[in-house]
Structure 1
């Protein structure tokens, strides 16, 4: 099973755009042993977290494209793709989930809405490392 996930991650990395396969993503993988592409389950934040501070000391709002993730570093941009409908969104990781949370990522309601799964609560996703800088409208991160 582990070998299958590695093969899927390698194939997924092969088909992403050149802008996503930059030197810093390779360095991220080597330094932190973090796969550049990951698969798992996404949820979205409860409204009770609105206005609370994230671990990056930013006030959380459901209106921004942000997410909590325990596997990627903080303050980076990732591309999240809903595997059920193939919709994608770029989000910034600015928080961590509770260590016992079994899901891969917890997203703001704005991000979950963009992916089309707010009516379901959970969805299967692929997340891909983009970089430290905010991507432009084409999804290309500048000056990483």
Structure 2
């Protein structure tokens, strides 16, 4: 077992150090659990595709923290790291792409902004599965009411918030909000469970990561109007 772990670590290190030629992605798949890691170029798309149907069937929201990938399961979570800055974010794969062979992943504008690559047309990134074999549905936000501790950065006056879920039932939304120390905001017929606001994107990302770790994989970061 120890030798296999060492071999896996070495393989990851080799992939991380060896980029593909001419912008082509280099990658590694390990085991049946779906572990994946690859390096290559990312691009992003925004308002020009807002409202279009994605491969998952949902409408594309350029403000969401999502991505298009050719092979990662729809609904799965992927960690994307900017190799120039070392900054990492977690995105949900909800579409197929990119359509250019020299691209590894397409980020939504919201994801690119959070990663800090929205001012560049392409960026060198590493992509790997955030939770091996895990997938989350766009409708999988029904809360488990079992009490559990979630470590979340404190809310302050700021520019970002995290939407954990939206519900047609106010008691259901309130139950989740009470569990994670969030607030409920009414939006027409829906009740949205919101964390924040947060002063910066990094704090918002930490809060999102915390609730994703509790199974709320569709939590997304929203810029404040």
Note the C-alpha offset of 1:35: 5.6
Aligned-residue Cα RMSD (Å) equals: 3.1
Q: Distance in 2 between matches of 1:107 and 1:49?
A: 12
- Pairwise CA distance, 1:47: 2.7
Q: Tell me if structure 1 keeps the 8 A contact 2:98–2:106.
A: no
Q: State the aligned residue count.
A: 123
* Superimposed CA distance per residue, residues 59-99 of structure 1 (whole angstroms, 9 cap, x where no aligned partner): 00111100000131211001101011111111000100155
Is 1:124 aligned to residue 196 of structure 2? no
TM-score (norm 2): 0.47
Task: Compare 129-138 and 112-121 and name the one that shifted more.
Answer: 129-138
**Structure-2 separation of matches of 1:137 and 1:35:** 19
Pick 1 or 2: higher relative contact order, CA cutoff 8 A, min separation 6. 1
State how far apart, in whole Å, the 2-side matches of 1:38 and 1:104 are: 8
User: Unpaired runs of 5+ in structure 1?
Assistant: 1-5, 14-27
Q: Which structure features the higher share of strand residues?
A: 2
Distance in 1 (alpha carbons) for counterparts of 2:101 and 2:84 = 22
Which structure is larger by alpha-carbon Rg, 1 or 2?
Answer: 2
Give, in whole Å, the separation in 2 of the partners of 1:42 and 1:140: 23
